[in-house]
Structure 1
Amino acid sequence: MSPVLLALLAGAVVGLALGGMGGGGSLLAVPALVHLLGFAPVEATTASLVIVAITIATSLAAHGRDGNVRWRPGLLFAAAGLLPAALGGLLAARLPAALLTAAFSVLAAVAAVGMLRTRDDTPRTGSTSIARAAGAGAGLGAVTGLLGVGGGFLGVPALVRVVGLPVRAAVGTSLLVIALTSTASLAARGGTLSSLDWAVVGPFTAAAVLGAWDGRRLAARISGRVLQRVFGAVLLTVAALMLLDALVPR
Structure 2
Amino acid sequence: MSTLLLALVAGGVVGLCLGALGGGGSVLAVPALIYLLGFSPLAATTASLVIVTATSATALFAHARDGQVRWRTGAIVAAAGLLPAALGGVLAGQLPPALLTAAFAVVAAGAALMLLRPASAREPEGIRGRWPVAAGTGAGLGALTGVLGVGGGFLAVPALVKPVGLRMRAAIGTSLLVITVNSLAALTTRAGTADGLDWAVIAPFTGAAVLGAWDGKRLAAKAQGRTLQRIFAYVLLAVGALMLLDSLL
Counterpart residue number, 1:243: 244
1:119 corresponds in structure 2 to: 119
- CA distance in structure 1 between the partners assigned to 2:152 and 2:120 by the alignment: 19
Q: What amino acid is the match of 2:188?
A: A
1:66-100 C-alpha deviation (Å, 9 max, x unpaired): 22222233222211100000011111111000000
Tell me what 1:49 maps to. Answer: 49
Other-structure match for 2:168: 167
| Structure 1 pair 67–194 and aligned structure 2 pair: CA distance change class (3 A) | same
Worse-superposed segment, 26-35 or 235-244: 235-244
User: 2:5 corresponds to which letter in structure 1?
Assistant: L
Contact 2:73 2:134 (C-alpha < 8 Å) held by counterparts:
no
Q: Which amino acid aligns with 1:189?
A: R
- Amino acid corresponding to residue 63 of structure 1 in structure 2: H
> How do 1:148-159 and structure 2 match up within 5 A?
148-159=149-160
**Secondary structure, counterpart of 1:232 in structure 2:** helix
Pairing 1:102–2:69 present = no
Cα deviation digits, residues 16-61 of structure 1 (max 9, x gap): 1111111112111111111011111111111111111100101111
The 5-angstrom pairing of residues 72-221 of structure 1 reads: 72-120=72-120, 122-123=122-123, 127-221=128-222
Query: Equivalents in 2 of 1:167, 1:151: separation in Å?
Result: 16
Partners of 2:242 and 2:17 in 1: CA distance:
20
Provide the rounded CA distance (Å) in 2 between the counterparts of 1:63 and 1:193: 30
TM-score (structure 2 length as normaliser): 0.91
Report what 1:31 is aligned to. Answer: 31
Between stretches 158-167 and 88-97, larger displacement belongs to: 158-167
> Match for 1:193: what amino acid?
A
Letter in structure 2 aligned against 1:92: A
Q: Quick one: distance in 2 between partners of 1:48 and 1:39?
A: 11
- Equivalent AA in structure 1 for residue 233 of structure 2: G
Does the 8 A contact of 1:21 with 1:224 survive in 2?
A: no
Q: Using the TM superposition, give the Cα deviation of residue 2 of structure 1 relative to its aligned residue in structure 2, in angstroms.
A: 1.1
Whole-Å Cα distance in 2 between the matches of residues 164 and 228 of structure 1?
A: 15
* Alpha-carbon offset, residue 161 of structure 1: 4.2
Identity within the alignment, % = 66
Q: Contact 1:68–1:169 at 8 Å: present in 2 too?
A: yes
3-state SS, counterpart of residue 150 of structure 1: coil
Q: C-alpha separation between the residues in 1 aligned to 2:172 and 2:240?
A: 24
- Any stretches of 5+ residues in structure 1 without a counterpart? none
Following the alignment from structure 2 to structure 1, what is the Cα–Cα distance between the partners of residues 218 and 136? 34
Aligned residues: 248
What is the aligned-residue RMSD (CA, Å)?
A: 2.1
Consecutive unaligned residues of structure 2, counting only runs of 5 or more, are none
Query: Which whole-Å CA distance do the structure 2 matches of 1:206 and 1:122 have between them?
Result: 38
Answer whether contact 1:124 1:161 (CA < 8 A) is retained: no
Shift of 1:123: 4.2
Q: Which residue of 2 aligns with 1:8?
A: 8
Q: For 1:158 and 1:111, locate their aligned partners in 2 and report how far apart those are by CA, in whole Å.
A: 9
Where 1:142 maps in the other structure, the secondary structure is: helix
In structure 1, how many angstroms separate the alpha carbons of the residues matched to 2:181 and 2:224?
29
* Structure 2 contact 168–225 (Cα < 8 Å) conserved: no
Q: C-alpha distance in 1, partners of 2:116/2:158?
A: 15
Amino acid at match of 2:140: G
Normalised by the length of structure 1, the TM-score is 0.90
Work out whether residues 123 and 160 of structure 1, in 8 Å CA contact, stay in contact via their aligned partners in 2: no
Q: CA 1:114/1:165 → structure 2, altered by over 3 Å: closer, same or farther?
A: closer
Structure 1 stretches of 4+ moved >6 Å: none
Contact 1:51-1:201 at 8 Å conserved across structures: yes
